[in-house]
Amino acid sequence: MIDFVYGVIISSFSSVVLLSALVFLVKNWFIERLKASVGYEYSAQLEKLKSELTMKNNESLESVKHEVAKEFSAISMAHKTLEGSIAIAQQKKVDGVEKLWSGIVALRNSTPSAFTTVDVLLEAEFNRFDCTKIENAQKFSKGEIFEIFTSKIDDDGMVDLARLHVGEKLWFFFFAYRALNFRLAYEISESIKKNSLSPWYKTRGMRNMLENFFTREEIDKMDSMEFSKFSYLRSILEEKFLDEARRIVSGRDVGGDAIKYAMILREYSNYTGDYK
């Protein structure tokens, strides 16, 4: 009887052990299947996400490349246009410089002998000089000298257009050179009409002009000279013109003093109007 009970107990215990082992195995199998399933789904979703991101990145990269290519093309075209514009503008500057300098040379080469006469007279000799001895005096008294000067400076009527390209500073030196010659012609013509020659560099009109066209040091030096005052003043303007012209032709910036000279020109732009 006891052996039977022991057998039943042992048999029941074995069944429980087997059942527990079976449950453990089934549980582990289920967990492993679940892990494998989740891992597979995760890997699949990850690969899908990677594929989508790669595709989007490729599309974005191509879009960026396209935009960069468009921008580069636009910049390249703008650069070429700018280079062309600069080249054209620089050529116009050079042409303008040549036009103004040609006018200065023409005016210098057509200097009347009367200019030389009044430039070599000492101050004490002006009152004693006979105005009738001035060569081509009628051209001065009738105002023909101004027409001659104008035709020499601007034979084609285009000299004023050069101002647009050369800038105010160079134009100022040209304007001053022209005004100095016209003013001296005016002073001589007035002296001929009155038959009384006065030192041209002491008249109020000429003095006012000189004080605005030349430095104090330059005027003082002129005053200290006994003769060749006009030649001295003209050489100063020619030298300043050439210095500025070289800067323009070389392509360097020349706009620093533009406002200064523009204001002087505005104030004295009507100087030649009184005696043209």
- pTM for the full predicted model: 0.63
Within a domain: residue 34? no
Full pLDDT tens readout for the chain, 276 residues: 555 545 545 565 556 555 566 656 656 666 666 666 656 666 667 677 777 767 776 766 666 566 656 654 554 554 454 455 567 878 888 898 999 999 999 999 988 888 998 999 999 898 888 877 777 777 777 778 888 888 888 777 778 888 888 889 999 999 999 999 999 999 988 888 888 888 999 999 999 999 999 999 999 999 999 999 999 999 999 999 999 999 988 876 544 555 555 566 666 655 545 544
Q: What's the one-letter identity of residue 224?
A: S
| Residues 6+ away with beta carbon under 8 Å from 227 | 119, 120, 121, 122
> Which pLDDT score, from 0 to 100, does residue 254 have?
46
Calculate the alpha carbon distances from 11 to 3, 18, 21, 192 in Å: 12, 10, 15, 157
Domain total in the chain: 1
Within a domain: residue 36? no
Calculate the alpha carbon distances from 247 to 40, 216, 242 in Å: 78, 25, 9
> Which pLDDT score, from 0 to 100, does residue 138 have?
76
Within a domain: residue 56? no
Do the Cβ atoms of 173 and 237 come closer than 8 Å? yes
> Which pLDDT score, from 0 to 100, does residue 131 have?
79
Q: How many CA atoms, within 13 angstroms, populate the side-chain half-sphere of residue 64?
A: 6
Q: How many CA atoms, within 13 angstroms, populate the side-chain half-sphere of residue 96?
A: 24
Range of the domain at 167: 89-274
Tokens of 205: 């009109």
Phi, psi of 251 (to 5 degrees): 90, 0
Within a domain: residue 40? no
> Which pLDDT score, from 0 to 100, does residue 46 have?
66
Within a domain: residue 111? yes
Within a domain: residue 270? yes
Calpha distance 223→61 (Å, rounded):
78
Residue from 258, 259, 264, 265 nearest 169 by CA: 258
> Which pLDDT score, from 0 to 100, does residue 244 have?
93
Decide: residue 141, CB within 10 A, 0-12 exposed, 13-18 middle, 19+ buried.
middle
Within a domain: residue 12? no
Within a domain: residue 17? no
Do the Cβ atoms of 188 and 140 come closer than 8 Å? yes
